[in-house]
Every structure is written in structure tokens, then in C-alpha cells.
Structure 1
């Protein structure tokens, strides 16, 4: 008689997984954060909506003695309509639960995480490593264009 270890099935809990809610378009939002990390850089784009205007910010992550700190690089304001046009043109609502796995044999690359609170409480989450959702570059370029206007 051999003593085989017993496999114990553990329930899988992912408390951070967004609720499965299908939406056709984004009609409002409170905050959208896009974090992008590479081997030699880390930045964070943030769009906040106060109900009157949208504040668009770019932060650089810098190393300080007690850890990492966000340092504001650029900030601007735009209309809510302009921000919503960008979000919907890039189909941001379709990004929910996107997980782009890192390609095999790729030893470097860019990683991203997107968090968004839209349409009165719906949370969108997407992440990836050298795998991006459709219109990712358009979205990043659109935010950069807003910052440069």
C-alpha cells in the first residue's frame, strides 16, 4: 500500500475580476487609468471626469529612497464629448477582461494595465504583455494627442 498524496481541490476566487456586463458604448466615466511598463520606463495616463471637463494627465514613475512615486509630466483639460469620442472610437468597452499573454520566446517587451469606471459603476479591466487589444495604439496615441493640444 502506497501513500499517495491526496489532491485537494481549492476553489478559485478572483475578487478583482470585473463583473460580466455587456455595454454597447461608453456614455460616461469617472476615471480611466492606463499603466504602461517596459524594461527602462514606466508611465501612467489618467483621465478623470468631474462632470464638467475631463482632466488628462501623464505621470512618470520615478524611484525615490522609500519606493516609487508618480511624478506629473503633463496635464491638460478637454471636453467630455471629446474624451467619449476617443473612448468609443477605440472600442474601449470591448476591452473588458482582455488578457494578452506574453508570447513564448520573447524576453523583453511592454506590459499594460487598464482600469476604467464607466457608465455609472461598470468596471473595465484589461492587461497584457506584448499582446494588446484592438485599437490599443490608437487609444494611447489619442491620449498623447489630447495632452499635446
Structure 2
């Protein structure tokens, strides 16, 4: 951004205005592809190694140590009571960390690794991480699609 005074710079960057992580990665990779001085495969590798993998592994660790929470009164438990419901109000208990929280960066990581032909050790690390996640949550079932998809 052009400016004559550093104090008059942009208050909110375009990166911050992009709502999804997929969009942010796509725009970052778009810039990397346009710059000749940048190796886009190296940028993709760094995104996966320094951000996505660390986040996935950290979220897996958090998931294994998570608490349970009552939907009605928000009471928290380290372990679910044997009766299977909240001891305070009898409400339903849920995990504090969802499956989506753990797996949100897995598919974008695999897509980046495939698109930019990253080293096999990184692809294998992603595959092992995927297997670890599947062993915890189970494999995704095939999604049922509506008939509309076949007529477009």
C-alpha cells in the first residue's frame, strides 16, 4: 500500500478481511505463484509444517484431554458422570472440543501437498495424521447426495 506517512497505513489488511482459512491460504498461494522470487512449493510446505500440522496435532492433544459440558447449565466435568447426564440439572453432556475443530486443516493440507508435489515424507506425515484421526473418530461415511446434483 502506498503511503507518505507510516501512521496513515491501512487499518485492516486484506488478509484479515478474508473470512475462511481456505480463502486465506488460496490468496497467499496466489501471491506466491505470481512472485518469481518465491518458490510456491516451499511456501506450501511452510504453511503445512509451521501452521496446519502443529495445529492439528495440538488439537488432537487437546481432544484427548478435553472436558465435558452440560448443554443446559454449562457445568463442566473432567470425566462424564456414570449416570450419563449432568449431576446439577440432569441435562445432556457434550464434548467441549468437536471433531471439526481437530480436522479442519487436514483436507487443505493434503490438497496443498498434492497440488505442489511436496516431498513424500510430508505426504506420509499427513497420511499418518489422517489415520490417527480416523482411528479416533472413525472413517467418514459416504455423503448422501440429492438427485439435483445429477441433473446439473
TM-score range, shorter chain: under 0.3
Q: Which has the higher strand share?
A: 1
Larger Rg: 2
Structure number with greater CO (CA < 8 Å, separation at least 6) is: 1
Q: Which has the higher helix share?
A: 2
